[in-house]
Amino acid sequence: MKIVKSGPILFLIAILGIVFLFFFGLISGDVNTSFSDAYNGLFHYSNDDINQVIIREIRFPRNVMAIVAGAGLSVAGMLMQTLFQNPLAGPYVLGINSGSSLLVALGILSGVGFFSTELGLIGSALLGAFVFGLFILFTSSFIKSQISLLLFGVMLGSFVTSIIAILEVTSHAESLKAFTLWSMGSLQGVSTHQIPIIVTVFIIGCVLSFLIVKPLNVLALGEEECRLMGYNIQTLRISIIFVTALFAGTITAYCGPIAFVGLAIPNLTRMLFRTQNHFVLTTANIIFGALFLLTCDILIVQVSGFLIVPINALTSLIGAPFVIYILIRKVR
């Protein structure tokens, strides 16, 4: 389980890339701003300066959300792949994101005031992710084939999509517009005052992930080995589902569904570091997941002058070919 010799260099490059892109994201956009504007916007904020307002209220929360969403979804994907012993598992593929989307759809499209609030939206997304996660976990005890389980997740997603389509047809125009915009995926719907809540939930998820590193290392060898080492498999499974739901539910609530991050990045980190040490993998997924989604968002901002690209569309365009490569590699 030793990290490859180039591991520390990869970590350093990725961290420097995140720092550079974060500050580049603060000063780039339709309105030209400088590093001094960014510094003042973060540390000496003034409502009278339009550049500082843009940086503080729009660009800063968007960049932070890109880091949190990329890191959180990547860790969630890693946990799913370890739990189901399947490199093609992930919160999006197995239907956990579908659970969040379904309950958010019920909340927004029903027109009930509470479910349209921030608390109602987060609660719906978390509950949907956790319930569907437990359902997938229960189903996996009957479906032993990895391919069959993946197909079940895809079918579950299709079933949920059908229900949402029916809800959309019967909903009011304003509710439908709000849900459509949410379902396209976006990092710019987060405000500055929401960042402390999101970051707190993210830190809790990361701490919980690191606390179960040792049993995850043993689980990677097989459930029987995990039992022989004295770990409670059922407790470990529920812990993994809880952390995954925490990440996927919170991120889906604020950003909408974002595909392929939780599937592609965990496989990429395993290829780069060639280890089953989940301390290394968790750290790598946090860093490389943040770098990936931050890069995607910067690209979207750069082309926004002539083309509007939803974040979900760009991650799919980049992630899908990589997953196809993994499939071909697995078959060979």
pLDDT tens per residue, range 5-18: 677 899 999 999 99
* Domain residue extents for the chain: 7-331
> Domain spanning 7-331: which superfamily?
ABC transporter involved in vitamin B12 uptake, BtuC (1.10.3470.10)
- DSSP letters for 82-118: HHHT-TT--TTTTTHHHHHHHHHHHHHHH--GGGGSH
What's the one-letter identity of residue 311?
Answer: I
**Terminal C-alpha separation, the chain:** 24
Q: Which two tokens stand for residue 190?
A: 């987060």
Res 12: pLDDT: 94
Tell me the CA distances in angstroms from 260 to 91, 292, 319, one per residue in order.
9, 11, 5
The pLDDT value recorded for residue 112 is: 61
Amino acid at 128: G
Longest dimension (CA), the chain: 64
* Amino acid of residue 248: A
Cβ proximity of 86 and 277 under 8 Å:
no
Q: Which residues of the chain have pLDDT under 50?
A: none
Assigned token pair, 272? 């780069």
- Which of 147, 142, 124, 165 has the alpha carbon at shortest distance from 252? 124
Return d(Cα 170, Cα 187) in angstroms, integer. 28
Between CA 89 and CA 102 the distance in angstroms is 20
Tell me the DSSP string of 229-267: TT--HHHHHHHHHHHHHHHHHHHHHHH----SHHHHHHH
Q: Distance (Å, rounded) from C-alpha 212 to C-alpha 217? A: 9
pTM of the complete model: 0.90
